[in-house]
Chain A
Amino acid sequence: MDIIEVKELTKRFGDLLAVDHVSFTVEKGEIFGFLGPNGAGKSTTISMLATILTPSGGDAMISGFSIRRQRDAVRHSIGMVFQDPSLDNRLTAEENLRFHARLYGVPKEDYRRRMEEVLRLVDLWARKRDIVETFSGGMKRRLEIARGLIHYPDVLFLDEPTIGLDPQTRALLWDYVLKLKHDRAMTIFMTTHYMDEAEYCDRIAIMDHGKIVALDTPANLKRQLGGDIIRIESSQKDALQKELEHKLDTPIRQEGNALQFEVADGAKFLPRLLQEVQTRVEAVELRKPTLDDVFLSLTGRNIRKEEAPDQGQGPARGRP
């Protein structure tokens, strides 16, 4: 069953088309990831789905409710964890939850049980009476997840949930998210620009300049690249590119001082290539594709180089 159905969703900010007629569906119980560089339109999309921003065009249904016409029903149906902290630091963990539960109409008789349940889920039960100010960044994030769950939403939205956290805390947070999926069949919609995190998703949509450029499981996306990635370093990379392009019919990209392309069976292909090639080669690398490579082959850009906010056109390097 589709729990989110997005049709032609569009958002304009003046001249900028931040989200450009985006359509997709999310199934019940899956972790759906929105992947892309900063400024790709991920947060704008999630904000429209969470009814924080009004779309310029199109619509989306969440649990059967329209984000345009039934905002309050949508708000009851979703839990939201924002990109930036949104807890009251002067209140205790429990007070933050109670505030949320009351605004979302959780029945009084259910509140205690649910509060304990969600706090235990994120291992904060023992800290429930502590002021949030004393919490670490990771604990605050977990408390926000608990808060987003206490009104029993159908979908949990996580907007860049691990941004600003150290690698260990990030991994721990992922344990909780995966536990949610396995123990409670929670549907999770998240955005990230960390490629390794996208691997946890059941399906990912890769977004670039307001459009979805690919949507599939991480495994399928990587399979599309056609097997293995070969990277060759050479001081004469222009000459090498010419030579390789003459010999192979696969697109070859320049990546810094190296060339990169995909082949079906790299282990067999590489020795043959090195025997034949005339141009001087300094180093060779053979590896399995990552989502980074998928992104690179789809957009011609490397997602990691786009960390800085980028609203306009990125440099379209090496795209044939």
Chain B
Amino acid sequence: MTQKEHYYPVHFLQAMTTIWQREITRYRRDRTRVVSTIVQPVMFLIVFGSGFRQTLATGLGMDFLAFMYPGTIAMTVMGVAFFSTVSTVWDREFGFLKEVLVAPIPRTAIALGKTTGAATMASVQALILLALAPVIGVELHPARIPLLILYMVMLSLSVSGLGLLVASLMKTTESFGIVIQILIFPMFFLSGAFFPLTEVPQWMEVLSNLNPLTYGVDAFRQVILRGDIPPEVAHKIFLYPLPVNGLFLLGFSTVMVLAAVIAFNKKS
């Protein structure tokens, strides 16, 4: 039998960017989502900025808003990254997933395209939040921004990976929404965004050690605040060395994407 003359192997990267690009195109076309990307961070900042500063007295030895600000970024990233991975469940519901799954491309390229798509949108929203920092009186040294973006991307990838794993196990948007709701609150409260994790009960510490948001919040906080707060306060609120945060986030993303690929293969 003769070899087909028009049989082109598809490069991994091309498959991945094709999947990624579709996520972005769909996002740009959805006005509600674009508007909410901008409105949501502004809302957060107004609520956290004016509300909490007046009502919460802290024994932290620093401005509570400055303490909260990194957590706000992390929370935004988490929300958008999770919500964006719902597209995989939609694809399953509307039949498009079949078109993707029978294409002659590796499943890992599909999972990575989806994850980076969600992570891109989460990072964009985090960037908007970053740009708003001066408005609420948080000072950002321009030299620290590249490092901050790097950690934002890594946190986005981690949460998107987790979202994709959930999405690959769920058949309907409803069940996906429920699981994500169940995950979001404990993840947020156990992340150290609201209170320092240096003096919490053991069980809480174990759980927060598994929580990617913990490492994201810690990294954001260190990049934004280091040098601006007294060392004894820093000692009280910083958890890990920065590279440890980065390694955890990368490792977490990898495990999640691989698990999602396995889940996909099992399901179809």
Contacts and interface: CB of A to CB of B under 8 A. Distances in A.
Interface of A: 50-52, 61, 63-64, 71-73, 75-77, 80, 82, 84-91, 95, 99-100, 102-107, 147, 151-152, 154
Interface stretch (B2-10, B129-137, B212-220): B2-10
A157 B9 CA distance: 21
A290 to B, nearest CB: 33
Contacts of A104: 8, 10, 103-104
Contacts of B95: 82, 84-87
B232 interface: no
B235 interface: no
Of the listed residues A50, A64, A103, A147, the one surrounded by the most CB atoms of chain B closer than 10 A to its CB is A103
Contacts of B8: 76, 104-107
A261 B7 CA distance: 52
A299 to B, nearest CB: 30
Which bracket fits the contact residues of B?
Answer: 20 to 34
A152 B104 contact: no
Nearest 3 A/B pairs, CB to CB: A64-B1, A105-B8, A75-B104
B106 to A, nearest CB: 9
A76 B22 contact: no
Contacts of B185: none
Interface of B: 1-4, 6-11, 14-15, 18, 22, 25-26, 29-30, 94-96, 98-105, 268
B1 A103 contact: no
Given A73-B4, A76-B7, 13 more contacts: A64-B1, A72-B9, A80-B102, A82-B99, A86-B95, A86-B98, A88-B26, A90-B30, A91-B26, A100-B103, A103-B10, A103-B104, A107-B8
A259 B30 CA distance: 61
Given A63-B4, A154-B4, A105 B9 contact: yes
Contacts of A87: 95-96, 99
Contacts of B100: 103
